[in-house]
Chain A
């Protein structure tokens, strides 16, 4: 079963608005990653945040991690139509090489 659950499952916003997606997971982690997927093709790595980090930025992306609540959020500021995609969080399973992906949030940015 999948450990990560993204919320919301789908999100539709206007260009220029901010988009926030949340991810919850069940067990302890070393790191959490966010990926973007366009039209069911390969995933593109966006950002990795370690368990001892609380916030990380990359361009228009801001990721937070709250290990006490086992949750993470991805904020995309000033969204563009090109941001339309599915976004997944992935958590490692400590002691293994395995990552567990969530169910994804489908983001649609309207021009």
Chain B
């Protein structure tokens, strides 16, 4: 059974451009979360989607947006890229909602975004 898959694995973009990152959760998982991890720091929460609805948003500007599709896959979009957006973007899926936490997240390997 496939784990959480993210694409692309690496990406180089120029300041001001737009980027779309993709995530496919584990089969049967309805919850997808996005995290940003800057080098040397812990992951920072960006978004959580459950059953295609946004259930949580972290302290990120409106340049960051996301959506979840009927098959529970998800996209993270970042507009007007800044140098500071360079980071590892992690997607995580989980089985249930916050009232039924039995296991932790299953993370993908991430997308390494470099903004030049």
Contacts and interface: CB of A to CB of B under 8 A. Distances in A.
Interface string B83-107: 0000010101000011001111111
Interface of B: 4, 31, 33, 35, 37, 39, 41-45, 48, 50, 55-56, 58, 88, 90, 92, 97-98, 101-110, 112
B42 A88 contact: yes
B56 A98 contact: yes
Interface string A4-42: 100000000000000000000000001101010000111
A67 to B, nearest CB: 16
Contacts of B55: 96-97
B106 A45 contact: yes
Interface residues of A, number: 26
A5 to B, nearest CB: 10
Nearest to B33: A97
Interface of A: 2, 4, 30-31, 33, 35, 40-45, 48, 88, 90, 92, 95-104
A44 to B, nearest CB: 7
A42 B39 contact: no
A40 B107 CA distance: 12
A101 B40 CA distance: 13
Contacts of B45: 98-100
Given A97-B33, A101-B42, A103-B41, A42 B98 contact: no
B90 A97 contact: no
Nearest to A31: B101
Contact of A103 (B42, B50, B105): B42
Contact of A30 (B39, B44, B50, B101): B101
A43 B43 contact: yes
Given A33-B105, A88-B42, 18 more contacts: A35-B107, A40-B39, A40-B88, A41-B88, A42-B107, A42-B109, A45-B103, A45-B104, A45-B106, A48-B103, A92-B98, A96-B48, A97-B33, A99-B33, A99-B105, A100-B45, A101-B42, A103-B42
Contacts of B37: 40
